[in-house]
Structure formats: structure tokens, C-alpha cells
Amino acid sequence: MFIKRTLLSTAVSFGLVAGMTSAAMAEEITIATVNNADMIVMQELAPQWEQATGNTINWVVLEENVLRQRTTQDIATNGGSFDIMFIGAYEAPIWGANGWLTPLDDFADDPDYDLEDIFQLVRNGLSADGKLYAVPLYSETSFTFYRTDLFEAAGIEAPTGQPTYTEFAEMAAKLHDPDNSVYGTCQRGKAGWGENMAFVGTLANAFGARWFDMEWNPQLDSPEWNAAITYYVDLMTNYGPPGASGNGHNENRALFKDGKCATWVDATSAANDVRNPETSSVADVTDFFQAPKQETDKGTGWFWSWALAIPASSQKADTAKDFLKWATSKEYFEMVGETKGWVAVPSGTRASVHEDPRLLKAAPFAETIKNAIFSVDPADPTRDPVPYTGVQFVAIPEFQGIGNYVGQQVAAALAGQQSVEQALANSQQFAVREMTKAGYIK
Amino acid sequence: MARAISTKAKVTNTAIAGTLGFLMFIPILWILILAFKTEEDAIRAPLEILFGSGWTTDSFGTVQARSDYFKHFSNSVIISVGSTFLGLLIAIPAAWSMAFVPSKHTKNVLMWMLSTKMLPPVGVLVPIYLVFRDFNLLDTRLGLTIVLMLINLPIIIWMLYTYFKEIPGEILEAARMDGASLRDEVIYVLTPMAIPGMASTVLLNIILAWNEAFWTINLTAANAAPLTAFIASYSSPEGLFYAKLSAASIMAIAPILIMGWFSLKQLVRGLTFGAVK
């Protein structure tokens, strides 16, 4: 009887242990992400990782601004709601330096992962104090989309090198044909540090402007900023579509794809979509050249990267790391190419992907994107020296507020509600107040 | 005696009311139209959308394939119904005492309760988030039920208070003289008389809780996310998404719209109850 009972209890405890081990191995992770094409592809392919590992994924999909607010709130309060967060090149260094993210330096020890294959520039953008805090899914810069048919009809030769903004305005003037609903140029006008200020920031860089001097004094009332914003308002008023101050990336993308814009300086990541005959009416007549320069060619194309990071508050960091490796591995990009077509492969992160002949065949402009990305240096973004990193943004927590405010002022100037001088005077005043409050300047 | 209303005035009033009603309905109508278009058609000019494009139900299929509608739906039902009935449990005794045995502070207490609605919710987001974190309530249906109950409690109490005030205290007194206990008085006398008012309170609060988007998005992640989070996941700053967003919105508002439609009579009766005396 006794033996029987002992045997039974031993069997039960073995069973329990076995059950617990398998439960411990199969984990459930929660990923917070945005709703863009590359992430939707990842969601569609992720079941393969789930099957291979036995783990499950909960996806929390939010709009970019809501996601940023939601993840910031969770990570700043150590809430632990998410195991993986989709973050940008702006958050990664700031959050990393705050100790909010799990360092991913050990990825370098995995030869299969081949961390060195990811562009150094992109890794730098996602690191703080020499430690890597996020791994990139895709990176983008900005370049000029243009309509080859309209250029030909107007007798303009497309620039082979980097044109100046003066030349760009001349082209826009010749191409502008509002009677036939074709506008010389479409640029972002909707206020926001990630909207109009992305383009305006690079334009300002080209005109030799900078956000702050080496002592963190705001420079928004400088003649360079004035020249840049005056150029922007004139360009958009004369050769832009009506209501340009309400157009963001999406609106311009739709206008361009609908054949309403002759030129558009925007994200390289939109190239796949614009060149896709199924979604665009101008797929065959669109080509690209570098974003224009003016006083300088520094910081004329922006740098942005969407990357995956693990909050320090996650209890399942090992499983999360496993997923991160899978989702940014060479095999993953290969899988996207094979299942979704090579034109859909996220670009701008891995050298091996950019050398792949299948990609170069499906997306000949991938080379232009790579060259554009390599011409950007977030650590040296302006003509005059600056204390910050970031091309179209300044990697300090205060920038969101300042960038949004300046964006609103610029949008108001574009809508004709105030003068350029007034917009920049307000911006300068606001920036000085914020930077003083934050203790950068006395 | 009822005032005589001329036919002309009736026609004018009906036309004005109809026009206003239609204007208010336009956004929903537009969402409904976009939900049945392709993404490429959904970004075209309004007239082209209406007359120059075909119809499709693809967006609904895509939305269901990408996210689990029924999970979000059941979360919405549990949270909105749960918070409303939890609120009633507290509000009925509170409103009873304020309506039938008021003290000199009753008015102040009512005003104080209402004043909590004047605080912008974002002001207490971080403290509540921290409390939720420490009590392990983040991303749970229980946590959301409690928060939404607390948020809507002032409205429930105010509504019930107004309805209870309309009921003559003498009827309750009569019940008491017949030997009814407090419990019997509330259950068998007060409640049946207040049913229209309570029904509209319940309906209105279910609608409020169903549509609450601030707390439901901020305090949930994957497990307890209701339909508001479901809609939010289809908004994007990049790419084409209007048709899918519209389809998701229609799927999210349809249940509450249908419920509201069927209970329209009850709702209007409850909301206008007492106002004409």
C-alpha cells in the first residue's frame, strides 16, 4: 500500500514537474507596434516563429503617436506591459541612456545573426554610450521622387548629382500646371515634429541653419532659418497644391500616386509603394534623385530607423531576444522576399540584403536608397558644429515639445496666418523658454 | 390644454429636425460607405467615391483576419455591462439616501461628485497607472471595470437622484406604514417605479463605457483590450488604411448602435422623465 502510494505520488510529481517545465518553456510575449506595411508583414510571418519555439505573441497595434505616448508611459513607470516595443531612432538613444532598455550587445556573439552585417550607421543611431539598445527592421532617409514623363514633357533634364534648392524651385516652376491638376512640388505641411519638421529640418540644414549652437542656445532667429522658411513658404505657395499646410506624408503620398505632383521630397521607404503598379498610377514614370542641397550638403536627407527593443521591465527578456533575433535576421529578410516579393523587403539595414541580386532586380532603386542612407551622418548633421546628434530631430527629450511648437508656427506661416519672421520669433522665444526650464541654458 | 400647432409649423419643424439629424448622421454614413470600398478608392475625391467606384467587403475580411474581433467584443461587453451594474449597486443606495433623507450637505456632496468629472483624465493617468501596476490590474478586465465604474459613478448617481426625486415620498411612507422593511421598500416599491429612469441610466452608461477610449487604451495591452483599442489599431500615419479603419469602426459601433436603436423608446422616455412636470 505504502509503496503504491509512494509510486503514485512520485509519478504525480514527475508529471507536475514535466508540465511546469513545458509551461515555463512556452511563453507568451506582448509586442507593441505600429500599423505599417513592414510590421503587418511581420505579423503575418510571426506564426512560423511561434510554431518553431512553442511561444505565443500578443500584438498590440497602435497609431504612431498613441504608441509613443503609451510605450513611454509604460516604460517610464516600469509598468511591464510589453516585452518588445517598436521604437524609433529618436527614442532608442534617450531611453537606452535612461536605463529603460535591455542592452543587446550579446547579439554580437552570435555568428549566425551577424551583427556586423547591419550598417554601422544604423547601429550607431540605435546606441547610447557605445551600447546597442535596439535592432533595426528598416531605415530610411529622404530623397526626391520625380515624374520622368513630366520632366521630359517640360524639357527638363533630371539631375544626376545633388541639385540645389534654387535649381529645384526652377524645376518646380516649369512643371507647375495647376489647370491640369499637376503641381510643381508636394511637400509636407501638416504640423508636427515627425511631419512637416522632418522635411523642414533637412531644408534648414541645407540652408546652413542649426537648432542649437554649442552652448545649447536656440538659433531659430538666425538668418539661415529665415532664408530656409522663406524659401519653403514661397515654394509651396507658388508651386504647391492648394491647402498644403494640411498635407502630411500620407496625403502627399496619395497625391503623388494619383499623378498630382511632379516632385516630392520624402521617405525612401515610400518608394516600394509608389513604384508598385498595383497601388500607384505613376509606378512606371517615377524615378529618384537626392534631396537637394543649398549652402551645404550636410544633413540634407533625414535619418530614421524603426527598430525593436526590449524594455528593462520585461520579465521575459530571453524569449523576447529570441524573437528579436529571428525578426531581424538574414533568414527573415529572405523569407519576406520569398513570400511577399523582394520589392517588399524592408530596406536600409543589412549589407547582405542590399547586395542580394534578387533585391536589386526587383527594386533597382534599392541602390539609390543605400547611397542616400550612407550620405547621412546623424553625428555631424549641420554646416556649423552642434552639440547634438540627429538630422531632422535633436536627440534630447525636450525636442518633441519644441519641434511640435515650431512645426505649428511654420504651418501657420505656410497657411498665411502669420509672417515667417513672426513664426520664427515665436519659435525662438518658445525654444529659449523650454531650454532654460530644462537647465541647458541659464 | 395642448397648444394648437399648425400643419405648416409641423412641416417646418420636421424638416429642420430631419436636416439636423441627417447632418449628425453624415460622419457615420461616410464611415459606412468607406468601409465597403477598396483602400485605393477610399482616398479618392468624395464624388468619385460615391459614384465612380465599386463596392467590396474585403476590408471586413482583412480586419477579422488580422485581429480577433470577438475577443475585443467580449471585453467591451464585460467591461461596459460590468462597470454599469457595479455602479448601480453603489449608486442606488446613494441616490436613495440623497433623494429621500437629504442632509444639509447633500447638495454639496452632489456638486463634489460632479466636480470629479471636471478634472482632465490625463491629469491622474500616471498615479492610476502606478496603482494599477502595484495591484497587478494593468491589462485586466477587472481593473478597467473598476475604473470605468468610478468614472461614470457621478453620472449614474446624478441621474438616479433626479428620477428618485420625482417619486413622491408619501408612497414610500405608505409602504413603511404597511410594515415594509427598508430592503422591501427599495426593491418592491421604489425600483418598479424608477424602472424607466434606471433603464435609461443603464443604457446611457453602457454606451459611455463602450465608447470610453482614453482609459481603455491606456490601461490595456493585449488581454483586456476592448473595441476602442481595436479601432485604434487600424489608424496609421503611413500607408493606406481608411477603408480598413472604417470597417473596424463599423464593426465596433454596430452592436451599440443596434442596442440603442431597439431601446430608443426607453431611452427617450427615461431621459425626458420628469422634465415636463
Among B232, B78, B205, CA closest to B150? B205
Chain A neighbors of B67, CB-CB under 8 A: 59, 61
Which pLDDT belongs to residue A15?
45
A36 touches chain B (CB under 8 A): yes
Chain A neighbors of B133, CB-CB under 8 A: 77-80
Of residues B43, B232, B237, nearest to A254 (C-beta): B43
User: What parts of chain B have a pLDDT lower than 50?
Assistant: 275-277
- Parallel/antiparallel/unpaired status of strands A56-62 and A28-34: parallel
Which pLDDT belongs to residue B263?
82
Q: How far is A70 from chain B (nearest CA, A)?
A: 6
Q: Do A62 and B234 touch (CB under 8 A)?
A: no
Evaluate the CA torsion angle A337, A338, A339, A342 in order and state its sign.
positive
B225 touches chain A (CB under 8 A): yes
Which pLDDT belongs to residue B238?
65
Query: How far lies A199's CA from each of A194, A302, B106, in Å?
Result: 9, 8, 58
**How many other C-beta atoms lie within 10 A of the C-beta of residue A166?**
10
Contact A74, A107 (CB under 8 A): no
Dihedral (C-alpha) A367, A369, A371, A375: value to the nearest 10 degrees? 180
Q: Do A58 and B222 touch (CB under 8 A)?
A: yes
Contact A420, A228 (CB under 8 A): no
Which pLDDT belongs to residue A17?
44
Q: Do B66 and A40 touch (CB under 8 A)?
A: yes
Give B211-224 pLDDT, tens digit per residue: 999 999 999 998 99
Q: What single letter denotes the amino acid at residue A190?
A: K
Query: How far lies A22's CA from each of A11, A18, A25, A71, A172, in Å?
Result: 17, 6, 5, 30, 64
Which pLDDT belongs to residue A22?
43
Nearest chain B residue to A36 by CA distance is: B238
Sheet harboring A56-62: ordered strands across? A56-62, A28-34, A84-88, A304-309, A135-140
CA distance B231 to A223: 45
Chain B neighbors of A60, CB-CB under 8 A: 221-222, 225, 229, 233
Nearest chain B residue to A195 by CA distance is: B237
For chains A and B, what is the number of CB pairs under 8 angstroms?
87
ipTM for the whole complex: 0.80
Domains of chain B, earliest start first = 67-233 (1.10.3720.10)
Query: How far lies B225's CA from each of A210, A272, B98, B144, B229, in Å?
Result: 43, 33, 36, 9, 6
Chain B neighbors of A41, CB-CB under 8 A: none
Q: Do B236 and A34 touch (CB under 8 A)?
A: yes
Nearest chain A residue to B238 by CA distance is: A250
CA distance A297 to A301: 9
Q: Do A250 and B222 touch (CB under 8 A)?
A: no
A40 touches chain B (CB under 8 A): yes
Candidates B72, B216, B238, B242: best to mutate against A (most CBs of A within 10 A) is B238
Chain A neighbors of B126, CB-CB under 8 A: 73, 77
Which pLDDT belongs to residue A318?
94
- Containing H/E element for B244? helix B242-262
Chain B neighbors of A254, CB-CB under 8 A: 43, 240
B182: its cell numbers:
427598508
Candidates A27, A28, A35: best to mutate against B (most CBs of B within 10 A) is A35
Candidates A29, A60, A251, A304: best to mutate against B (most CBs of B within 10 A) is A60
Q: What single letter denotes the amino acid at residue B26?
A: I
Sheet harboring A142-147: ordered strands across? A263-267, A142-147, A286-290
CA distance A116 to A351: 9
Q: How far is A259 from chain B (nearest CA, A)?
A: 12
Which pLDDT belongs to residue A9?
53
A315 touches chain B (CB under 8 A): no
Please, what is the average pLDDT of chain B? 88
CA distance A41 to B160: 51
Per-residue pLDDT of chain A (442 residues; tens, 9 = 90+): 445 555 445 544 444 444 444 444 689 999 999 887 788 889 999 999 999 999 999 999 988 878 888 998 999 899 999 999 999 999 999 999 999 999 999 999 999 999 999 999 899 889 988 899 999 999 999 999 999 999 999 999 999 889 999 999 999 999 999 999 999 999 999 998 988 999 999 999 999 999 999 999 999 999 999 999 999 999 999 999 998 998 888 889 889 998 999 999 999 988 888 888 877 899 999 999 999 999 999 999 999 999 999 999 999 999 999 999 999 999 999 999 999 888 888 888 999 999 999 988 888 888 888 888 888 888 889 999 999 989 999 999 899 899 999 999 999 999 999 999 999 999 999 999 999 999 999 8
Task: Report the alpha-carbon angle A41-A43-A48, nearest 5.
Answer: 100
A407 touches chain B (CB under 8 A): no
CA distance B57 to B69: 16
DSSP H stretches of helix in B67-140? 69-100, 106-115, 125-134
Q: Do A279 and B126 touch (CB under 8 A)?
A: no
In terms of phi and psi (left: phi > 0; alpha: psi -120 to 50; beta: otherwise), the region of A394 is: beta
B136 touches chain A (CB under 8 A): no
Which pLDDT belongs to residue A52?
94
Full DSSP string of A358-397: HHHHH-TTHHHHHHHHHT--TTS-SSS--S---SSS-SST
Buried b (16+ CB within 10 A) or exposed e, A354-363: bebeebeebb
Q: Do A58 and B223 touch (CB under 8 A)?
A: yes
Nearest chain A residue to B130 by CA distance is: A77
Alpha carbons within 13 A on the beta-carbon side of B11: 3
Chain B neighbors of A63, CB-CB under 8 A: 232, 235-237
| Global pTM value | 0.81
Domains of chain A, earliest start first = 26-133+304-362 (3.40.190.10), 142-302+392-437 (3.40.190.10)
Which pLDDT belongs to residue A16?
45
